[in-house]
């Protein structure tokens, strides 16, 4: 029975060579297209996962949102966070690998005859852990430098290339606006993000240094948080939201603004 079926199929193929060839070609093209799409999809998924992992492990980024006034819905910026908010999160929310309060602004970095417009970030050593930064040379901040607000900095690879070329920058002094700052470390390059921004183009300084000597206030513009492996980020987000609602006196019915699906912005409305 099976042999007869094979013979009949071969006879029909010989009778309709053109039609059979086109049918086989269509099947081959269809299968190849499916395999190509699956391969491209897997590659894109891996690429996105890699770029997200570069940003940080189990990263949550909390920023103040917007508050609304009156029937017209006039918007204004919510009050900035304070260092006490970051300390409360670290103290009262379980399952966290690191909490890094962050502030900063744009500055001009100068060394000798070279200068470069960049962004300065004020934070703690936890920022390196939360954001998956690795030092390629030098060291992190000491506890004394963090407490005193010392004029020391860790630079990204773009700053190293633009200001120092092939020289070793560790131990040298750069100027950030009116502040002379000693370079104590250099970060390993991450390259461009998926959005095309240069991740290596920034300077990291102790939080208190940036607050006191550059931005001139004690505000925290954002809090970067990393959850431990195996801990539910949804549970961590809920705990952080509940805690900051209490600290910022937000009622349960107050609207929360989502930030890029990563975490929630918290504000008084």
Closest CA to 208 of 218, 197, 199: 218
Which band of pLDDT confidence, cut at 50, 70 and 90, is reported for residue 269?
A: very low
Asked whether residue 236 falls in the same domain as residue 154, the answer is yes
Q: How many domains does the chain have?
A: 2
Q: Report CA 48 to chain centroid distance, whole Å.
A: 13
Residues 30 and 83 in one domain: no
Are 154 and 194 in a shared domain? yes
81 has pLDDT over 80: yes
Q: Structure tokens of 150?
A: 């010392």
- First-to-last alpha carbon distance for the chain, in angstroms, is 79
Domain shared by 63 and 162, yes or no: yes
Q: Which residue in 221, 11, 21, 22 sits closest to 106, CA to CA? A: 221
Give the domain range for residue 40: 2-53
> What would the pLDDT profile of 149-188 be if each residue is shown by its tens digit?
999 999 999 999 999 998 999 999 999 988 999 999 999 9
Rg (alpha carbons) of the chain, rounded to whole number: 27
pLDDT at 13 over 70: no
Query: 67 and 30 in one domain?
Result: no
- In this structure, how many other beta carbons lie within 10 angstroms of the beta carbon of residue 3? 7
67, 30: one domain: no
pLDDT digits (tens, 9 = 90+) for 202-238: 999 999 999 999 999 999 999 999 999 888 888 898 8
pLDDT tens column, 123-148? 999 999 999 999 999 999 999 999 99
CB atoms within 10 A of CB 85: 22
Q: How many CB atoms lie within 10 A of CB 197?
A: 9
The answer on 139 and 37 residing in a single domain is no
* Residue 259, strand partner residues: 263
Query: Which residues, other chains included, contact 124 with Cβ-Cβ below 8 Å and sequence gap of 6+?
Result: 100, 101, 141, 146, 206, 207
How far is 99 from 79, CA to CA, in rounded Å? 20
pTM across the whole model: 0.72
CA 119 → CA 1, 16, 176, 214, distances in Å? 78, 71, 10, 12
Residues 64 and 38 in one domain: no
Residues 27-74 pLDDT 10s? 778 777 777 777 776 554 555 444 444 444 588 889 886 554 444 444
């Amino acid at each position: 029975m099976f042999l007869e079926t094979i013979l009949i199929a071969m006879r029909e193929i010989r009778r309709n060579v053109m039609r059979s060839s086109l049918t086989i070609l269509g099947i081959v093209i269809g299968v190849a297209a499916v395999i190509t799409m699956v391969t491209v999809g897997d590659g894109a998924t891996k690429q996105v996962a890699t770029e997200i992992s570069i940003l940080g492990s189990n990263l949550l980024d909390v920023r103040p949102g917007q508050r609304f006034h009156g029937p017209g819905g006039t918007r204004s910026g919510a009050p900035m966070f304070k260092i006490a908010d970051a300390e409360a999160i670290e103290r009262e929310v379980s399952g966290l690998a690191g909490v890094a309060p962050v502030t900063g602004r744009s500055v001009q970095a100068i060394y000798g005859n070279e200068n470069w417009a960049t962004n300065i970030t004020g934070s703690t050593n936890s920022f390196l852990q939360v954001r998956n930064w690795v030092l390629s040379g030098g060291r992190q901040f000491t506890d004394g430098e963090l407490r005193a607000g010392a004029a020391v900095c860790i630079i990204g690879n773009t700053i190293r290339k633009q200001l120092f070329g092939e020289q070793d920058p560790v131990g040298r002094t750069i100027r950030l606006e009116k502040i002379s700052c000693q370079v104590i470390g250099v970060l390993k390059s991450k390259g461009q993000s998926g959005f095309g921004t240069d991740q290596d183009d920034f300077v990291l300084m102790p939080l208190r240094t940036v607050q006191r000597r550059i931005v001139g206030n004690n505000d925290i513009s954002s809090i970067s948080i990393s959850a431990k492996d195996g801990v539910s980020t949804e549970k961590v987000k809920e705990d952080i939201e509940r805690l900051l609602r209490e600290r910022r006196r937000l009622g349960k019915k107050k609207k929360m603004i989502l930030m890029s699906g990563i975490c929630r912005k918290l504000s008084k409305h």
